């Protein structure tokens, strides 16, 4: 048809063609603005949506038609087979009389109604034969790759069409994306180019327009870029208004569901099917006996009654079969989850959830948090940058900058910031804290508004986290990979004193309001004389004394003790959680016990029969059901539980031999070890002289405020020898004075008491260290018969007495053991006796080890004068013993004097000091 028309058109004279072309162009000039106006109407949007719906249906119909050719043909009904036989005859008769296609169908229907029932039965038998043949072929077809490809393509197409349909229903009021600068320019200049390049194709025209736009000057582009920017801003506002609507939030939720459904259909098609329960297996076996219909004694009611009447022995057979199927299913699922298909599903599922959460949080921010108080700078450097930029803006600096220019600016500001000392930087920190305090008050007021409550409700419905406006990174509860959370440290109590400022800092605080640029404060401080600086040094000393007194009072108060104790607890908890996350990643998980295995299998079945049971009532029902089981039924679960426990213990034993577990155990041991102060170390009295500073400390106190230790050491080393000697001389004088004070203090009652307590503490610490060092391999005392009984029977009695836990359960089991007969106790007593004998043998071996001997030597008390006693013993061993008749040599004058003045303690003390 088209070729014939084209031939006719070629024969039309050129004048006629030009005339028609002119008419077409004139009509197009009228049509184009009308079309542009129509595209902005709701009618055009509805038309586009309907067109998309039509395209989707057409695509699906075409796809199913193409795929049906690969599948076996469906069987025809008896009526269809009859119609195939008479169709040609009936068609000729009806057409000869001038009838239509509808009349043909009507005529065949009338003839079918006139066919005898016996003949109809023959057609039905033929249809049934075709149906059986089709079922066999279709079952074979379902195992082919063609069917799998069909299912995959269909799932993807259905998902795409569902998203299109969802978009059609929710994006009716969505704003249309505006034209960019090039599109606006093209709309204005396209007519001129078409006149210049008559006969050019659409592709050639687009290429020419692109080159012209590229070669246009910035002045020519500017009006179109400004217009495009204005349209874009207007579009953004419309999009924001559209996304604030409830319809858009509903769209996000439904889109997530559609994508999740498509993901499951595409990636979980080959996932192993869950095994049938005991009830389902029984129902499958008796399905031929079930009477059809509804009501008493029919259908599902008949199955339920039969199941309740079934004997326990038969139920046990079904339970064993169910356990076998469950075990096989678990193995198949484990293999399936290790495959690439399941990993793809998990990856896509995570992507869908992240998409919903990201877009949901954007919408929540747009709808509720866009007018929340703006957060102040997060650190002192950010405050410094903001101040410098504000000053530059007031000075007339250009506002528009490239990314490279911004990077250069930040790098320069970082360099200037690093030149400021700590006190100058603290000024910016104080400004930031003032702004933050004001911001927190505004946020608290904002969170009291009804809008905030509405935000929380919508965030929960969308399943996105509620943003905490007052959250702090330091106080945020960090979540580790193993699911554990790190607790934030407690807030400082208001009664806890703040560390006072140094001399230079005090000066900065006084002069801060007098200067515009805080970086000039350091120059002002350096310009002060030594006398002026000493004034602030005295203030520093006074404040430090007040702070120390307040801190001591706080530490001794109940609030202070509670705060210190809480900080230590949280620090220990955080360290333990981090150690578990770091070292126990591969630790095997404890398996379910026999009662838990039974609960897992029984709970679904019980919920179907009694759907109203929940919580404690459900647990009690399962416990009673467990008690009602026979020993053979219980044995199935107990054997499986014991098998899982044995495997777990073997895996745990292997894991405990790894380096990771040893590191974890070492960390926990270190955390559990009590600090020295808590083991009885005496506290230094307040009257005890304080150790004086050395030369470097004196230098730091005078000139090193706000500087790093490494810088101070280097500066001290570069001092002239005379300067160094001056500081060292002062340090030596202070040291001598300290030694004199200590000597005098030790002779006081308080000093003597402190020295005595210190010696006692050292002795206790020596014994503790010896125990930790040498007795770590000492064999542990074995449990007695009662404990062995409790350990073995704990799971059994825990199920029997669910209300008892911990010590109460232990007491109950001990009471049961005491009431047992001697024969029943004998098993546990023999085990305890055997373990006790084994323990005594190991203990004897340990006592002969070198570690135990070292321990005895370490704890052995050394009597005073041991060296003299040894010397005396040495002398006695030299030569033969003197005879009893040998006269003793008299003592010297000094010896006689010592005997006479034996009780004179003060004299002996003086003599010892002289010696």
Cα–Cα distance measured from residue 602 to residue 160, given in angstroms and rounded to the nearest whole number: 40
Cα–Cα distance measured from residue 217 to residue 203, given in angstroms and rounded to the nearest whole number: 24
Please give the average per-residue pLDDT across 547-565, as a whole number. Answer: 85
Q: Residue 907: what pLDDT?
A: 37
Cα–Cα distance measured from residue 552 to residue 497, given in angstroms and rounded to the nearest whole number: 10
Q: Mean pLDDT of all residues in the chain?
A: 81
Res. 207: pLDDT tops 80: yes
For the purposes of burial, counting CB atoms within 10 Å of the CB of 384, is it exposed (0-12), middle (13-18) or buried (19 or more)? buried
Res. 756: pLDDT tops 80: yes
Higher pLDDT, 752 or 700: 752
Q: Residue 415: what pLDDT?
A: 86
Please give the average per-residue pLDDT across 147-165, as a whole number. Answer: 86
Residue 188, token pair as written in the block:
């204005």
Q: Residue 582: what pLDDT?
A: 84
Q: Residue 620: what pLDDT?
A: 82
Please give the average per-residue pLDDT across 716-736, as a whole number. Answer: 84
Q: In angstroms, how far is CA 599 from the centroid of its own chain?
A: 30
Cα–Cα distance measured from residue 709 to residue 696, given in angstroms and rounded to the nearest whole number: 10
Q: Residue 904: what pLDDT?
A: 40
Which residues are bridge partners to 662 per DSSP?
A: none
Q: Residue 674: what pLDDT?
A: 59
B/e letters for 208-236, b = 16+ CB within 10 Å, e = fewer, are: bbeeebeeeeeeeeeebeeebeebeeeee
| pLDDT tens sequence across 620-652 | 888 888 888 888 888 888 888 888 888 988 998
Res. 677: pLDDT tops 70: no
Q: Is 244 helix (H, G, I), strand (E, B) or coil?
A: coil
* Side-chain half-sphere exposure of 274, counting CA atoms within 13 A: 6
Please give the average per-residue pLDDT across 722-746, as a whole number. Answer: 86
Is 667 in contact with 572 (CB distance < 8 Å)?
no
- To 5 degrees, how large is the angle CA 295–CA 298–CA 303? 115
Q: At what angle do helices 145-170 and 42-68 cross, to 10 degrees?
A: 170
Q: Residue 462: what pLDDT?
A: 80
Among candidate residues 530, 621, 595, the one with its CA nearest the CA of residue 795? 595
Q: At what angle do helices 594-609 and 785-800 cross, to 10 degrees?
A: 10
Is 175 in contact with 45 (CB distance < 8 Å)?
no
Res. 398: pLDDT tops 60: no
Least confident window among 121-135, 378-392, 520-534, 675-689? 675-689
Q: In angstroms, how far is CA 842 from the centroid of its own chain?
A: 48
Please give the average per-residue pLDDT across 119-136, as a whole number. Answer: 90
| DSSP letters for 144-190 | SHHHHHHHHHHHHHHHHHHHHHHHHHH-TTPPPPPP-HHHHHHHHHH
| pLDDT tens sequence across 596-613 | 888 888 787 777 677 777
Cα–Cα distance measured from residue 394 to residue 387, given in angstroms and rounded to the nearest whole number: 11
Res. 403: pLDDT tops 60: yes
Res. 328: pLDDT tops 60: yes
Is 836 in contact with 782 (CB distance < 8 Å)?
yes
Least confident window among 23-32, 142-151, 455-464, 905-914? 905-914
Res. 310: pLDDT tops 60: yes
Q: Residue 870: what pLDDT?
A: 42
Cα–Cα distance measured from residue 384 to residue 407, given in angstroms and rounded to the nearest whole number: 16
Please give the average per-residue pLDDT across 721-745, as a whole number. Answer: 85
* Side-chain half-sphere exposure of 585, counting CA atoms within 13 A: 8
User: For the chain, first and last CA: distance in Å?
Assistant: 136
| Three-state secondary structure string covering 680-695 | CCCCCCCCCCCCCCCH
Q: Residue 679: what pLDDT?
A: 52
Res. 76: pLDDT tops 70: yes
pLDDT band of residue 471 (cuts 50, 70, 90) is low
Res. 878: pLDDT tops 70: no
Res. 394: pLDDT tops 80: no
Q: Residue 905: what pLDDT?
A: 37
């Amino acid at each position: 048809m088209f070729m014939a028309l084209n031939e006719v058109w070629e024969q039309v004279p050129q004048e006629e063609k030009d005339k028609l072309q002119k008419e077409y162009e004139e009509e197009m000039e009228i049509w184009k603005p009308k079309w542009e106006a129509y595209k902005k109407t709701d009618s055009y949007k509805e038309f586009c949506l309907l067109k998309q719906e039509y395209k989707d249906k057409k695509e699906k119909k075409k796809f199913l038609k193409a795929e049906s050719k690969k599948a076996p043909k469906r069987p025809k009904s008896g009526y269809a087979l009859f119609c195939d036989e008479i169709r040609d005859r009936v068609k000729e008769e009806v057409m000869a009389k001038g009838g239509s296609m509808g009349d043909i169908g009507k005529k065949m229907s009338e003839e079918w109604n006139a066919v005898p029932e016996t003949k109809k039965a023959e057609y039905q038998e033929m249809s049934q034969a075709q149906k059986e043949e089709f079922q066999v072929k279709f079952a074979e077809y379902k195992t082919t790759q063609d069917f799998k490809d069909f299912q995959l393509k269909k799932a993807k197409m259905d998902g795409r069409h569902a998203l299109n349909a969802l978009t059609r229903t929710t994006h009716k009021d969505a704003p249309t994306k505006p034209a960019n600068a090039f599109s606006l320019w093209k709309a204005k200049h396209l007519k001129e180019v078409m006149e210049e390049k008559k006969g050019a194709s659409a592709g050639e025209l687009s290429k020419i327009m692109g080159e012209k736009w590229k070669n246009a000057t910035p002045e020519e582009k500017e009006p179109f870029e400004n217009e495009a920017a204005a349209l874009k801003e207007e579009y953004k506002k419309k999009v924001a208004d559209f996304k604030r609507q409830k319809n858009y939030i509903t769209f996000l939720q439904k889109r997530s569901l559609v994508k999740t459904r498509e993901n499951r259909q595409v990636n979980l098609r080959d996932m192993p099917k869950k095994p049938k329960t005991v009830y389902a297996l029984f129902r499958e076996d008796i399905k031929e006996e079930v009477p059809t219909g509804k009501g008493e004694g029919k259908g599902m009611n008949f199955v339920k009654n039969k199941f309740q009447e079934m004997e326990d022995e038969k139920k046990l057979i079904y339970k064993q079969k169910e356990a076998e199927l469950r075990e096989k299913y678990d193995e198949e699922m484990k293999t399936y989850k290790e495959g690439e298909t399941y990993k793809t599903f998990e990856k896509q599922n995570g992507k869908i959830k992240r998409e919903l959460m990201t877009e949901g949080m954007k919408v929540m921010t747009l709808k509720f948090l866009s007018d929340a108080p703006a957060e102040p700078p997060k650190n002192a450097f950010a405050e410094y940058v903001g101040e410098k930029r504000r000053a530059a803006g007031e000075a007339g600096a250009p506002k528009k900058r490239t990314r490279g220019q911004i990077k250069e600016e930040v790098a320069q500001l970082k360099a200037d910031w690093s030149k400021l000392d700590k006190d100058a930087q603290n000024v910016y920190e104080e400004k930031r804290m003032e702004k933050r305090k004001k911001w927190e008050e505004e946020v608290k007021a904002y969170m009291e508004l009804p809008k905030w409550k509405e935000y929380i409700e919508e965030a929960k419905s969308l399943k996105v986290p509620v943003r905490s406006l007052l959250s702090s990174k330091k106080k945020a509860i960090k979540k580790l990979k193993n699911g554990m959370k790190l607790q934030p440290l407690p807030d400082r109590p208001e009664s806890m004193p703040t560390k006072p400022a140094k001399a230079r800092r005090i000066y900065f605080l006084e002069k801060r309001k007098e200067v515009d640029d805080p970086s000039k404060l350091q120059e002002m401080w350096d310009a002060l004389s030594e006398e002026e600086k000493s004034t602030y040094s005295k203030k520093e000393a006074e404040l430090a004394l007040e702070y120390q007194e307040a801190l001591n009072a706080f530490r001794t108060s109940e609030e202070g003790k509670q705060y210190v104790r809480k900080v230590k607890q949280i620090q220990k908890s955080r360290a333990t959680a981090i150690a578990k996350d770091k070292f126990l990643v591969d630790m095997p998980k404890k398996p379910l016990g026999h009662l838990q295995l039974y609960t897992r299998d029984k709970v679904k079945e019980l919920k179907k029969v009694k759907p109203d049971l929940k919580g404690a009532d459900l647990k009690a029902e399962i416990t009673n059901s467990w008690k009602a089981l026979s020993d053979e039924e219980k044995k199935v679960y107990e054997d499986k539980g014991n098998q899982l426990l044995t495997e777990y213990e073997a895996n745990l034993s292997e894991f405990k031999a790894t380096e990771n577990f040893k590191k974890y155990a070492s960390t926990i041991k270190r955390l559990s070890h009590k600090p020295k102060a808590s083991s009885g170390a005496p506290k230094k009295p307040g009257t005890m002289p304080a150790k004086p500073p050395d030369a470097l400390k004196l230098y730091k106190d005078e000139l090193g405020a706000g500087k790093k230790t490494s810088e101070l050491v280097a500066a001290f080393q570069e001092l002239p020898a005379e300067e160094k000697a001056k500081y060292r001389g002062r340090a030596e004088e202070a040291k001598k004075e300290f030694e004199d004070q200590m000597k005098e203090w030790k002779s006081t009652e308080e000093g003597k008491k402190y020295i005595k307590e210190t010696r006692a503490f050292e002795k206790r610490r020596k014994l503790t260290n010896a125990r930790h060092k040498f007795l770590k391999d000492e064999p542990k005392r074995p449990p007695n018969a009662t404990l062995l009984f409790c350990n073995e029977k704990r799971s059994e009695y825990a199920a029997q007495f669910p209300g008892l836990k911990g010590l109460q359960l232990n007491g109950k089991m001990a009471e049961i053991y005491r009431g047992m007969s001697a024969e029943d106790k004998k098993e546990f007593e023999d085990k305890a006796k055997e373990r006790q004998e084994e323990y005594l043998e190991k203990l004897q071996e340990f006592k002969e080890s070198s570690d135990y001997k070292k321990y005895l030597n370490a704890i052995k008390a050394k009597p005073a004068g041991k060296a003299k006693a040894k010397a005396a013993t040495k002398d006695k061993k030299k030569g033969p013993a003197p005879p009893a008749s040998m006269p003793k040599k008299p003592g010297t004058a000094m010896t006689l004097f010592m005997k006479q003045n034996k009780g004179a303690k003060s004299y002996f003390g003086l003599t010892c000091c002289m010696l």
